[in-house]
Amino acid sequence: MTDDIEIKDKAAWDAAEKVADYEHGWSSDIETDFAPKGLNEDTVRFISAKKNEPEWMLEWRLKAFAMWKTMEAPDWAKLNVPPIDYQDAYYYAAPKAKPKLNSLDEVDPEILRVYEKLGIPIAEQKLLAGVEGGEDGGLPQRRVAVDAVFDSVSVATTFRAELERAGVIFRSISEAIKEYPDLVRKYLGKIVPMHDNYFATLNCAVFSDGTFVYIPEGVRCPMELSTYFRINAENTGQFERTLIVADKGSYVSYLEGCTAPMRDENQLHAAVVELVALDDAEIKYSTVQNWYPGDAEGKGGIYNFVTKRALCQGRNSKVSWTQVETGSAVTWKYPSCVLNGENSVGEFYSVAVTNNHQQADTGTKMIHNGKGSRSTIVSKGISAGHSNNTYRGLVRVAPNAEGVRNFTQCDSLLLGSLSGAHTVPYIEVRNPSAQIEHEATTSKISDDQMFYAMARGLNAEEAVALIVNGFAKEVLQQLPMEFAVEAQKLLGISLEGSVG
């Protein structure tokens, strides 16, 4: 029983607990079902057929693919990325398993073993044991419903029954396309349009799975929702598609986390996340990202090109993005909020750590169209090793948006003298009643701080971890409690080797 609770308490990712090497650097011997290598129209059809999609979905994908062929990858980010050969990869990898998964008994036991190893609470029974009270000394247990994505296919969704009682729809997007086509069609591609950018268009054509969430009017989702990603097979790009719709007056907190195995070839991750919040609704979206960053020489690692956007459509709607980015070799993501609703609120809290030869170009866009809309941006960048860490942000106020408020704080912490920290903020204001404030600072850990911490008994790496956590505290505070603890550990681990 204690074991069960322990697993529950460490729900989500059990990121590097041990020192040094990437703990999850192994792959499992699972039979995988691949699409033929390469990317052409047949690949798109293959994916759609594998998922038994309705005609409209296939047409949507083909339209996107045709569009993608006419586009060019963007090159304006401060990133040094060798050209990606899009033909030299597999676009679909599903672990072979029984076609329909109603209960966990049907899941390939090898998969269950993988998740157990990762510490993900996929076993429904184990989770429930802690929940009913009494078994655990009456302490309220955090409940997390998990939709596990394993190499492009959602494996199991737990807690379905309880969510259904509340009216919450929490499905893999493949299921949702079939079960709730109207709802999906209403919003899919409306927040991030098909033509938005190169990687989003690619995603539209070849997305394989992801999460769909719908919270009905007035419902406060009774538990945190979570999806776990894992890229396993060699040379597969992961193209998740997530759509979360919060209807009027609803609330949901969603957690996204990832790990990936060591590989020599770079792997591509081009996800699209769309969020919609209607009147008085709130979505909290948290990400702790620990993709494989490449080895100390800069070889291997994940390319993370993600488009995330929230539409705060309703009045008083609110979307909060919180991210802790420590992995991936190359990161390109700008979770953004389009603030259309009157008095809508957008928030972006980010800690991005780069070490060794990682490169990150990340930030946010807050587009203020609605009167009285407000946004808060807190970005903490930590650069170590030979890495480069860039914050790129946009705050834009439309002429008719009266009474807009924005506060932005970008802080960079440089560890060692071989890394780079960059800040590129764009501020475009067209309404005189807006109050926009932006501050940026750059610093290093001072010798005094290090000495003080070490004089109190911490070794160099522990001291750095402590100080870095203090630096990042404001962002870590935004995470749901359990993840904050994991994130703190992750920060310390991701900086290993950067001291001395």
Partner 1 sequence: MSAPTRHNEAWRYSDIAAVEAAWPLPAPESIIVPAGGTFARTIIQDSGTIHQLDIAIGKGATAAIHVLNIGGDYGRVELNVTLHEGADFKLGAVQIGGGSQTLEVITTVTHAEPGATSSQIVRSVLAGTATGTYLGKVAVARDAQQTDSVQSVKAMLLDRSATANAKPELEIYADDVKCAHGCAIGELDAMGLFYLQARGITPADAKKLMLQAFVAGVFEGAADEEALTEAALAKLGDLV
* Residue 430 binding partner 1, by CB under 8 A: yes
Q: Is position 426 an interface residue for partner 1 (rule: CB under 8 A)?
A: yes
* Torsion sign, CA atoms 424, 364, 353, 320: positive
20 class by beta-carbon count within 10 Å (0-12 exposed, 13-18 middle, 19+ buried): exposed
Residue 36 vs 497, nearer CB to partner 1? 497
Q: Can you tell me the distance from the alpha carbon of 468 to that of 153, in angstroms, rounded to the nearest whole number?
A: 36
Q: Which residues pair with 250 in a beta bridge?
A: none
Q: Are 185 and 177 in contact (CB under 8 A)?
A: no
- Contact pick of 443, 454, 460, 497 for partner 1 (by CB under 8 A): 443
Q: Would you say 130 or 381 has its CB closer to partner 1? A: 381
Per rule CB under 8 A, is residue 442 in the interface with partner 1?
yes
Q: Going along 195-259, which residue ranges are E strands?
A: 211-215, 224-230, 241-246, 251-259
Smallest separation, CB 438 to partner 1 (Å): 4
415 touches partner 1 (CB under 8 A): yes
Q: Which residues are CB-neighbours of 437 under 8 A, at least 6 positions away?
A: 406, 407, 408
DSSP string, 335-399: -EEEE-STT-EEEEEEEEEE-TT-EEEE--EEEE-STT-EEEEEEEEEE-TT-EEEEEEEEEE-T
- Three-state secondary-structure class, residue 82: coil
Q: Is 437 in the site for partner 1 (CB under 8 A)?
A: yes
| Comparison of 104 and 427: residue with beta carbon closer to partner 1 | 427
Does 432 bind partner 1 (CB under 8 A)? Our answer is yes
Q: Which is nearer to partner 1, 36 or 74 (CB)?
A: 74
Interaction of residue 423 with partner 1, rule CB under 8 A: yes
C-alpha distances (whole Å) from 123 to each of 99, 112, 148, 210 are: 19, 8, 11, 20
Residue where the block lists tokens 């990682």: 358
Identify which range of 143-151, 292-300, 358-366, 425-433 contacts partner 1 by CB under 8 A.
Answer: 425-433
> What is the spatial distance between Cα 381 and Cα 351, in angstroms, rounded to a whole number?
6
Least separation, in Å, of the C-beta of 412 and partner 1?
7
**How many Å separate Cα 500 from the centre of its chain?**
31
Closest CA to 210 of 144, 289, 149, 276: 149
Contact yes or no for 155/210 (Cβ under 8 A): no
Minimum CB distance to partner 1 smaller for 122 or for 415:
415
Q: Does 441 bind partner 1 (CB under 8 A)?
A: yes
Q: Is the Cβ of residue 72 or residue 85 nearer to partner 1 in the bound state?
A: 72
Q: State which residue, 264 or 437, has the beta carbon closest to partner 1.
A: 437
Q: Nearer to partner 1 by C-beta: 269 or 371?
A: 371
Closest separation in Å from C-beta 406 to partner 1: 9
Q: Which of 431, 462, 474, 499 binds partner 1 (CB under 8 A)?
A: 431
The region of 60-68, 154-162, 430-438, 458-466 touching partner 1 under the rule CB under 8 A is 430-438
Given the rule CB under 8 A, which of 39-47, 276-284, 365-373, 431-439 is the region that contacts partner 1? Answer: 431-439
Stretch that binds partner 1, among 193-201, 301-309, 349-357, 438-446 (CB under 8 A): 438-446
- Joined tokens for residue 331: 């990161």
User: Smallest distance from the beta carbon of 379 to partner 1, in angstroms?
Assistant: 12
- SS3 of residue 465 by DSSP: helix
Count of residues near partner 1 by CB under 8 A: 34
Among 94, 434, 467, 491, binds partner 1 (CB under 8 A): 434
Nearer to partner 1, 117 or 444 (CB): 444
At CA 348, angle to CA 211 and CA 192, rounded to 5?
45
Quick one: which of 49, 428, 452, 459 contacts partner 1 (CB under 8 A)? 428
User: Whole-angstrom Cα distance, residue 267 to residue 300?
Assistant: 8
Compute CA distances 364 → 250, 282, 399, 431, whole Å.
Answer: 24, 18, 21, 21
Nearest to partner 1 of 218, 399 (CB atom)? 399
Closest distance between partner 1 and the C-beta of residue 196, in Å?
18
- Positions in 344-403 near partner 1 (CB under 8 A): 399-400
The residues that touch partner 1, with contacts defined as CB under 8 A, are 399-400, 412, 414-444
